[in-house]
Structure 1
Amino acid sequence: MRIGETVTFGGSGLDRAAHLRNRPEELGLMARDPEAGVLPLWRGKPLLVGAAETEAPGWLAADDAALADAPDRVFLGLDEGRPRFACDLSAWEPEETPETLGAFHDPSEQRHPAMSDTHRFAELRAAMTRLTARDAELVATARGILGWHATHRFCARCGHESHVAMAGWQRLCPACGAHHFPRTDPVAIMLITRGNSVLIGRSPGWPVGMYSLLAGFVEPGETIEAAVRRETFEEAGVRVGKVKYLACQPWPFPSSLMFGCRGVALTDEITLDPAELEDARWVTREEMMAAYAGEDPTLKPARPGAIAHFIIANWLADRLD
């Protein structure tokens, strides 16, 4: 798919400068560069500034008072020569913790008392389509790597607490010497068509009327194409024949790489797995176009910014080349 990398988080040519990760002294000097910036995240929410078209990551100086108690900084790379770092401020406790925190839709925002009123921690899903391609890649990278550190503090080999190394891109176990690297889970997400219709489904707990493409994790020893066929049959009972890769999207919720594919259904009878899907249905191109135009109150398409929304929109526009 020629426009595959235009998907949100699809890549902006960020110079990750991996050769600097084992040079702590050099990175320390770079962090003090006036052009450098540190992006704090609070419980998965990036610090943002501005609104609507002007929304952007809330980069702070390395010596900002709000970062005084921040743990290790992760080096994200060079943004047009400007050093970029990220840190986790999840230990900070706001006066109120909303019930929506961690939910599929969290509209709450948190403001740190040591930061400007224009800065707030906000859910990335709501802001991702308003960020530039470069900002989206930086924020997604920060969210993914910090999320990995939060859930992988202990050595998987011996159980001892590990330490951050290589500017945040490794964890080392001081007890057994094991090296641990950030993980990304491969997920197949598929546009399954039969004639003029596409197969969509919804998971329990999703917003009312929201549907998306079927998706599932790729298992060890399995190809992406095989995962498309297996997941479609397991979730909806539909057999799939030919499968074609379209595009991929890093998905930092928390750490997946979504492999977008197109598959041709061999059968159309749906048999739901209720543990996976609340509902699944075939929708014609015309019905989906009405949904994307906001003309069908019973059918809400996948969230803008998600690869499912991107693939369906390009299917409707006949751009899956």
Structure 2
Amino acid sequence: MSLPLGFTGARLDRADQLRTNAEALAAAVADPRARCLALDGIDFVPGESGGLRWDPIDPADQRAPMLLGIDEAGVPHFVREAPAGVRIDARSRTVMRLLPLLASEEAALYGGARSLVDWHARHRFCAVCGAPTDLFRGGWGRKCGACGAEHFPRVDPVVIMLAECEGRVLVGRQGGFPPGFFSALAGFVEPGESLEEAVARELWEEAGIRVSDVAYVASQPWPFPSSLMIGCRATAKDTALTLDTTEIEAAMWVDKAEVRAALAGDMGAPFMAPPSLAIARHLLEDWAGL
């Protein structure tokens, strides 16, 4: 795709070699240039210029610093784990109004940090034996002191797709969407299925359509809380719909002129398009030839 997708393009070396080197990691934390991402719970704190705010490492803060990476100048960047006992609502969308303040690479860096902080807040105990776990690998894992099990940040694969038939594509909406808002259909990949099978299953379950020729288009991290959105296209056999109304409130087939009108924000467009950060918008732009 011609434009960078939302939450992609972070310009930090993830410095995996430091994660398992306790001495080098400690030196990075002690580096006077080191910076820590300022968060309010799990939302970022805007800096003076509207971007991310980076603070010096506070030695009095007992929360573990987690390594995000090293920039081109060699400056280490960290984020602190959430305070123990604080409930993290990773699906809160209050931060959405602030995200336009960020450059694309800043949004990518924040998205990764947000998912990491959320994962640690929800995985303080071992899934094997129930004992408390401790942060290790510079924040990119947790280890159980009782049974030795190691746990690593999860990523949830989600297929998001445009089904095409007779020069139109299918868009739908859930009940919680803003009025007039439609997007590409999406669903989690289940164990034991390929991406192509997940696309076909989700379109059949949610819209009652059979598809073929599933093709990958692009992918995007989505840190609410830790999804990987895998954008695809597919060809529908016909346009007859049978909606699963527990998942989809409404759906419709739209042609390229209608999609272009929605993307342009025209008042007469048949639907309101997804925001620029969402891969669904890029799928629609790509299909419409924009």
> Same fold by TM-score, threshold 0.5 exceeded?
yes
- Give yes or no for the alignment of 1:57 onto 2:63: no
Q: Which of 175, 178, 185 does residue 214 from structure 1 map onto?
A: 185
- The 5 A counterparts of 1:300-319 are 300-317=272-289
* Residues 105, 174 of structure 1: alpha-carbon distance in 2 compared, 3 angstrom cutoff: closer
The equivalent residue for 2:69 is 77
* Residues 88, 12 of structure 1: alpha-carbon distance in 2 compared, 3 angstrom cutoff: closer
* Residues 70, 128 of structure 1: alpha-carbon distance in 2 compared, 3 angstrom cutoff: farther
Question: 2:257 & 2:120 partners in 1: Cα distance?
Answer: 45
* Residues 162, 102 of structure 1: alpha-carbon distance in 2 compared, 3 angstrom cutoff: closer
Q: Which of 255, 265, 278 does residue 284 from structure 1 map onto?
A: 255
Structure 2 unpaired stretches of 5+: none
Question: 2:162 & 2:11 partners in 1: Cα distance?
Answer: 27
The C-alpha deviation readout for 1:148-194, integer Å capped at 9, x for no partner, is 11111111101111111111111001111100011101100001111
The equivalent residue for 1:115 is none
Moved more, 222-231 or 74-83: 74-83
Structure 1 unpaired stretches of 5+: 94-100, 107-122
Partner secondary structure for residue 164 of structure 1: strand
The equivalent residue for 2:264 is 293
Question: 1:205 & 1:306 partners in 2: Cα distance?
Answer: 17
- The 8 Å contact of residues 70 and 87 in structure 1, kept in 2 or not, is answered as no
- The 8 Å contact of residues 245 and 262 in structure 1, kept in 2 or not, is answered as yes
- Give yes or no for the alignment of 1:190 onto 2:161: yes
The equivalent residue for 2:19 is 21
Partner secondary structure for residue 36 of structure 2: strand
Question: 1:184 & 1:89 partners in 2: Cα distance?
Answer: 19
Question: 2:120 & 2:254 partners in 1: Cα distance?
Answer: 41
Moved more, 37-46 or 253-262: 37-46
The equivalent residue for 1:138 is 109
Identical residues among aligned pairs (%): 43
TM-score scaled by length of structure 2: 0.91
- The 5 A counterparts of 1:195-274 are 195-274=166-245
- The 8 Å contact of residues 67 and 79 in structure 2, kept in 1 or not, is answered as yes
Question: 2:123 & 2:280 partners in 1: Cα distance?
Answer: 29
Moved more, 177-186 or 128-137: 128-137
